[in-house]
Chains A and B, each alone.
Chain A
């Protein structure tokens, strides 16, 4: 089983809203990732968690706040986003070297 699940599938939010994206895996993977993908562009790494600790932050604006409550869950808290933050947000996990991706959350910021 290589399933990574993400909720919600779609999200529409205003610039003053606070929302959260959720990611879950039950493969025992100890590294989890957030990527952002704009239309017709490749995914770009945002954050990496290793053993539930933030290990990489790719200079992401503070309006994006990641959280790893336990080894199976990864959240991305969103606050005061801008319309240009509209994108597909992908979660991934890995144990050894291979990353497995979830289906993504498509976010629209109005």
Chain B
């Protein structure tokens, strides 16, 4: 599995954009980048995923560099409810279900 590196913690002011970086320099050509978040004591929540192109949905935007060695998750207008641990995961497509290997993630704290 390609490893990911994320900063352990970040702070963001409420209403501002939160930009969460992730390095995945050993990613293979057919591996996707996934982002999940986990609010305290809840199950992880899927946010977004991408392969090469930038992606946007109702929760966030995902920017992947052209060499695919890093990506950034953007929460355009962070709220207090976005305080959570954010996991960047490179997914290996196995033959029996898709294995997710979680790293330590980034603790995002949104401040009022």
Where the two chains meet, the residues of A that have a C-beta atom closer than 8 Å to any C-beta of B are: 2, 4, 31, 33, 42-45, 48-50, 55-56, 88, 90, 92, 94, 97-104, 106
The answer to whether A44 touches B97 (Cβ under 8 A) is no
Complex Cα gap A97–B94 (Å)? 10
Complex Cα gap A100–B41 (Å)? 16
Binds A, one of B17-25, B60-68, B98-106: B98-106
Complex Cα gap A69–B103 (Å)? 31
Complex Cα gap A98–B94 (Å)? 13
On chain A, the residues within 8 Å of B45 by CB distance are: 101
The answer to whether B44 touches A101 (Cβ under 8 A) is yes
Q: A42-B104, A42-B105 are in contact. Are A97 and B43 (CB under 8 A)?
A: no
The answer to whether B46 touches A45 (Cβ under 8 A) is no
Q: A42-B87, A42-B104 are in contact. Are A94 and B98 (CB under 8 A)?
A: yes
User: A33-B97, A49-B97, A97-B49 known; 7 other A-B pairs, CB under 8 Å?
Assistant: A2-B46, A42-B105, A43-B100, A48-B97, A50-B96, A92-B43, A104-B42
Shortest Cβ distance from A55 into B: residue: B96
Where the two chains meet, the residues of B that have a C-beta atom closer than 8 Å to any C-beta of A are: 32, 34, 36, 41-46, 49, 87, 91, 93-105
| Shortest 9 CB-CB contacts between residues of A and residues of B | A55-B96, A42-B102, A101-B43, A31-B97, A48-B97, A50-B96, A101-B44, A103-B43, A50-B97
On chain A, the residues within 8 Å of B105 by CB distance are: 42
The answer to whether B100 touches A99 (Cβ under 8 A) is yes
Partner of A43, one of B44, B46, B93: B44
Shortest Cβ distance from B85 into A: residue: A42
On chain A, the residues within 8 Å of B102 by CB distance are: 42-44
Complex Cα gap A45–B99 (Å)? 8
The answer to whether A98 touches B96 (Cβ under 8 A) is no
Shortest Cβ distance from A45 into B: residue: B99
* Minimum distance in angstroms from B73 CB to a CB of chain A: 16
The answer to whether A98 touches B97 (Cβ under 8 A) is no
The answer to whether A97 touches B93 (Cβ under 8 A) is yes
Partner of B96, one of A4, A48, A99, A103: A48
